Structure 1
Amino acid sequence: MHMPQPRILFVIGSLRKGSFNQRLADVAAKHLDGRAEISTLDYRDLPQFDQGEEFPAPPSIADAREQVSQADAVWIFTPEYNYSYPGTLKNLLDWLSRPLDPTFQDKTTVLTGKKVALTSAAGKSAGAGVRGKLTEILDFLKSDLLGRQVGIVLPGEAFVTGEYEPSADDVKAVELQADELLDSIGR
């Protein structure tokens, strides 16, 4: 019997075209090719979180929640802005963190129990700040965080040229994380 491939939803924290973190996501997608179904959440046009607009959820929010719900795992690739997360990523997490039940009797969210991996390409801190803060948020939301996190120190020239080619060590770190993620979701 043929088992369906696991579904992994990528969330790229930087919306910049040619994002360094998108490059790492590309490495992961290539490594997982043929072993997982990969999709990327487009959350560029989500409205700012507004508790007064939460029920019924705007269509773009309902769609994002559905994509997360259907995924076996979510893999966040994000830069670090001011030792923290990008505002657009926080906005997405704010929407995803809300209970689906308008009566709040059931506080389950689409991130409750969801396997989540964290990777960051950043400056000298290797994204330690953003990974730490996201760990706090995702733990609070009762997500199932992958033990292995990857933090990549970007070469200084990448910030000048806007170009980044992952080194062999960077590729290996992402590939090991991909393998651990697949193992953790039992596929």
Structure 2
Amino acid sequence: MEYSDIPYMNRDIESLAPNQIVRIKEEVLKADTLWVIAPEYNFSYPGVLKNLLDWLSRPLKENDFSSGTAIRMKKVTISGVNGKSAAGGVRKKLTELLKRIKMELMETPQTGVALTSEAFKTGKMDLSQTDIDALNQQLDEFLKFIGE
């Protein structure tokens, strides 16, 4: 999902939802589930991801919280990428946030990929067999979680 061009969440423009927001909400409403895969910045999520989740957590009908949101009770799982911490910080913060905005989170397993210093230099991420196995296990568990 492309969301790098969305404006900052702002109550002043919320009722006139920009086209990018309308498009993204429609995409999310059509999706059965979401898998959030995030890099870790300063032990947390990137601002652009938080902004997206802020927009998606707003009511479908202006000021009508009983109308639901595009993501309320949407089943979701989390993975992350960083250095030695294997994205533990972003996964913890996303766990808190996704629960708060009433998503149905599969808390475990979560996959954290620890990038090597070489990956930071080259900008290329190579998954180890251990990472691939962990992602496959997470996928298997997520399919069970969503009843597939």
Bin for the TM-score computed over the shorter chain: over 0.9
Can you give the 5+ residue segments of structure 1 that lack an aligned partner in the other structure?
1-40
Structure 1's consecutive aligned runs of 4 or more residues displaced over 3 angstroms after TM superposition are none
Q: Which has the higher contact order (CA 8 A, sep 6+)?
A: 1
In the alignment, what sits opposite 1:78?
Answer: 38
CA distance in 2, matches of 1:120, 1:170: 11
Deviation at 1:56, TM superposition (A): 3.1
In the alignment, what sits opposite 1:68?
Answer: 28
CA distance in 2, matches of 1:114, 1:184: 12
Query: Which is strand-richer, 1 or 2?
Result: 2
What SS class does the counterpart of residue 157 from structure 1 fall into?
Answer: helix
Task: Compute the TM-score of the two structures, normalised by the length of structure 1.
Answer: 0.75
In the alignment, what sits opposite 2:121?
Answer: 160
CA distance in 1, matches of 2:60, 2:99: 18
Number of aligned positions between the proteins:
147
Can you give the 5+ residue segments of structure 2 that lack an aligned partner in the other structure?
none
Identity rate, percent:
46
Matched ranges for 1:144-155 at <5 A: 144-147=104-107, 148-155=109-116
Picking from 56, 70, 78, the partner of 1:118 is: 78
Matched ranges for 1:19-168 at <5 A: 41-106=1-66, 108-147=68-107, 148-168=109-129
Say if 1:141 and 1:62 are closer, same or farther in 2 by CA, change over 3 A: same
Amino acid at match of 2:114: V
Work out whether 1:176 is the aligned partner of 2:125: no
CA distance in 2, matches of 1:167, 1:104: 47
What SS class does the counterpart of residue 152 from structure 1 fall into?
Answer: strand
